Structure 1
């Protein structure tokens, strides 16, 4: 019998590949190598299993997120936040694929991700952003625009087939993926800061 971490990892693989709607209880059981009623018996429902899978993956990602240095200036805090977000996204591409699937539709699952990850993450960096906007270093744009300006480039680390067609090496090492994450973070942060009176980094 699989242990809990293995069950959750296989569930993560299934939801990342199939999406929530196409991951039937029967298909999940097949991929887990368990009886067809295992998900309902163990977790209560497919929705509860999805939450357990996503909570486990989000918890692991948050644990790897470096803490922003409160003593650093606001531009440096922004750089640390974006770089940490991108570097941990490299480590959890399956979770990113689940998010891409969920972000485009209204659901309790989106509410769950927002309440557990997105909202708390944005509250971490909002004070620095507010001060950067007030000082003229970052353009005063709505939060949704800013969010997608920061989060959008993560697709550059998840869309591997397209990235390969654009010139990425066939087999990227962890070091290469980390370098890609850091390059994207530097590009995005410089872009955000270049619009204000302070100029680029």
Structure 2
């Protein structure tokens, strides 16, 4: 593994385990196996290092999310986007812990996650959701309700100790992960489509 990739991976592990505030420059340097001044010299600050860690973990995953395909039915397109998101979550489970840490605090880091990764992911879904709503196949759903309908099931992909207690095999193959992502996406999208037969959701 290239040195830079190894440094960013160790940084991801440290931030996931300790949280941003408890990951001191000294502790980060110890875990990275570098000098105390390395992070400031290489990245400029701990905050800039955190952003580099996040970009390294999520940038490729975001690029792999499917783009709009007008040949697909809107429900199928939504299912593909959600499935791809769950695959990405399974590939970066430590980011799940970082998201949990950051979602509860109103910080510049949350702004960064929202603007760079959360909003672009949601925007992939919005056009097909708008068409599904317009055609009566889905009830109007506020964005914050939609977000928390789609995101929490990621726990099924990344919360391994709990999943094992619930019956997940000790060792999961890529095929098993793919099947889990498909099943979760099916449950979520089918549930969203089912809202069309009930009352509209308002926040």
Give the alignment's TM-score, normalised by structure 2.
Answer: 0.91
Work out the CA distance in 2 between the residues paired with 1:196 and 1:143. 16
- In 1, distance between residues paired with 2:61 and 2:13? 16
User: Matches of 1:192 and 1:94 in 2, distance apart?
Assistant: 28
1:137 is matched with 137
Aligned counterpart, 1:102: 102
Does the 8 A contact of 1:90 with 1:178 survive in 2? no
Q: What is the deviation of 1:42?
A: 1.1
In the TM superposition, what is the alpha-carbon distance from 1:98 to its structure 2 partner? Answer: 0.9
> What do the CA deviations read for 1:71-120 (whole angstroms, capped 9, x no partner)?
21211111111111111111111112211111111000000011101111
CA distance in 2, matches of 1:89, 1:179: 14
Quote the Cα distance in structure 2 between the aligned partners of 1:9 and 1:105.
24
Q: Does 1:10 align with 2:10?
A: yes
Partner residue in 2 for 1:170: 170
Moved over 6 A (4+): none
Whether the 8 Å CA contact 2:8–2:53 is kept in 1: the answer is yes
Q: What is the rounded CA distance, in whole Å, between the counterparts of 1:175 and 1:138 in structure 2? A: 31
Structure 2: how far apart are the matches of 1:152 and 1:136? Answer: 26
What is the RMSD of the two structures over their aligned residues, measured on CA atoms? 1.4
Are the aligned partners of 2:19 and 2:98 in contact in 1 as well (CA < 8 Å)? yes
Structure-2 separation of matches of 1:193 and 1:116: 28
8 Å CA contact 1:8, 1:52 repeated in 2? yes
- The reply on whether 1:58 has 2:58 as its aligned counterpart is yes
Query: Over residues 17-75 of structure 1, what are the superposed CA-to-partner deviations in whole Å (9 max), with x where a residue is unaligned?
Result: 11111111111101100011111111111101000110111112113323342321211
Q: TM-score w.r.t. structure 1 length?
A: 0.92
Instruction: Give structure 1 stretches of 5+ with no counterpart.
Output: none
Name the CA distance, whole Å, in 1 between partners of 2:108 and 2:135: 38
Residue aligned with 2:40, SS: helix
Secondary structure of the residue aligned to 2:179 is helix
CA distance in 2, matches of 1:31, 1:88: 26
Query: In 2, distance between residues paired with 1:128 and 1:177?
Result: 26
Q: Deviations over 1:3-25 (max 9, x none)?
A: 21111111111111111111111
